[in-house]
Amino acid sequence: MLRTLRSLLPLLALALALPLVTACGGDEVKNDGTLRVGVVLPMTGAQATYGEESWNGIKLAQSDLESAGLPTVRVGGEDVPLKLNLILRDEVSKKQQAADNAKSLIEGEQVHVLLGSVASSHTKAIFKEAKESEVPCISPASTNDTLTVQGGPYTSRICFKDGFQGAVLARFSLDQGWKKAAIVVDKAQDYSVGLAENYEKTFKAGGGNASMHYYVTEDTDFSNVVQNVANDNPDVIFISGYYAQAGPMIKQAKDKWAGKPIIGGDGLDSPELIGLVGDTNAEIYLTSHFAADAPDEQVQNFAKRYKERFGKSPGAMAALGYDVLGVLLDAVKRAEDPFDPESLAKAIRETKNVKGITGTISLDNEERTPVKDAVIVKVAGGLKFHKLIPAGGS
């Protein structure tokens, strides 16, 4: 009996030790002054240009910040140089993958903060993981009105929201004398639904009339939507969705929508839109956060350096990617302990007047959402600056 007990002791000790390892989620990562930043973006799939541009912008910002000199941080009673470790995960333009990536970065990589994503539905899934784990997360580009409210105090964004963007589009429509609108909505996307609702509200309040037409992200044949919109004979067609669907839709509607102006939100802001719409004479406008040819010295300098490094002009997602890392570093400098999630989240919430490529960014409000200007871009052989809309203006 005694011999049996002795033989079981090593197994008993192992069994007692296992819960300790499991509870930690793996070996604790030693703090050597490295801020581990998890980045979740769509690098492949239907929204891949958003991910590519955002990641390029983040990398350019990292180079600039490191060249300027990163601050020192307190570790173990000593001041050591801060290091940035950016860990990218591809959410393949899928909501569930975005959530899985966030969870993996939090539990596996033990990141101190998350950046991402772009599509509002996907960011909502990431914010849910951030909220449950109490790890701060900043979205560079998700505009759905309810995101940060539902996400809680650990979540924020550096872009304007759809309540502003939708109203800008509606007032722009009315200013052009367009009184009858056909609103085309991707009912599978929170961004599309929310933006359409905000447009419709302001458009009708200004005396306009609107009809609603629906599709879903997976659609490739838009013939029914195209015909139904044509039957309505609107003054303007508002496509509330993303470029991957809007482009082919406009191409398929070439004859049936002839002579009808088309407008959209920042979801249409992609260099791929030009190729997707094909040979069309449609007059197309969209709201965005940035235009590379805007008459602004800081914007033009950024656009020049981006093109030199990546061989192409930047879109709005590139500028927002650049700005989101700048906002994060500003918070790191102010945080009492940037490696403590609560301390870092607090510093992010207190962000005020950070000068970015896309405007001045303050997050010290209930929704942790900046009040920023919008840009109206015209599609004319490229995405061309058309008009600046001041925050709260028309």
pTM for the full model?
Answer: 0.91
* Residues 242 and 381 occupy one common structural domain: yes
Name the percent of the chain lying above pLDDT 70. 92
* DSSP label at residue 29: P
pLDDT digits (tens, 9 = 90+) for 98-142: 999 999 999 999 999 999 999 999 999 999 999 999 999 999 999
β pairing state of 34-41 and 113-116? parallel
* DSSP label at residue 160: -
Q: Give, for 315, the enclosing helix (H) or strand (E).
A: none
* Residues 239 and 385 occupy one common structural domain: yes
* Residues 177 and 273 occupy one common structural domain: yes
Q: Name residue 157's beta-bridge partners.
A: 139
- The count of domains in the chain is 2
* Residues 115 and 189 occupy one common structural domain: no
Q: Name residue 213's beta-bridge partners.
A: 184
Query: What is the rounded CA–CA span in Å between residue 200 and residue 190?
Result: 15
CATH number for 201? 3.40.50.2300
Residue partners of 253: CB distance under 8 A and separation at least 6: 222, 226, 229, 230
* Residues 334 and 347 occupy one common structural domain: yes
Phi and psi, residue 357, nearest 5°: -65, -35
Question: What torsion do the CA atoms of 387, 243, 89, 299 make, to the nearest 10 degrees?
Answer: -20
pLDDT of residue 196: 98
pLDDT digits (tens, 9 = 90+) for 178-201: 999 999 999 999 999 999 999 999
In a domain, 150, yes or no: yes
* Residues 55 and 192 occupy one common structural domain: no
Exposure on the CB side of residue 109, measured as CA atoms within 13 A: 24
Question: What torsion do the CA atoms of 170, 174, 178, 181 make, to the nearest 10 degrees?
Answer: 30
Q: Which stretches of the chain score pLDDT less than 70?
A: 1-28, 392-394
pLDDT of residue 393: 55
* Residues 56 and 68 occupy one common structural domain: yes
* Residues 48 and 127 occupy one common structural domain: yes
Whether cis (ω within 30° of 0) applies to the bond prior to 117 is yes
Query: What is the rounded CA–CA span in Å between residue 81 and residue 32?
Result: 9
Question: Which residue segment(s) compose the domain that 243 sits in?
Answer: 162-288+377-389
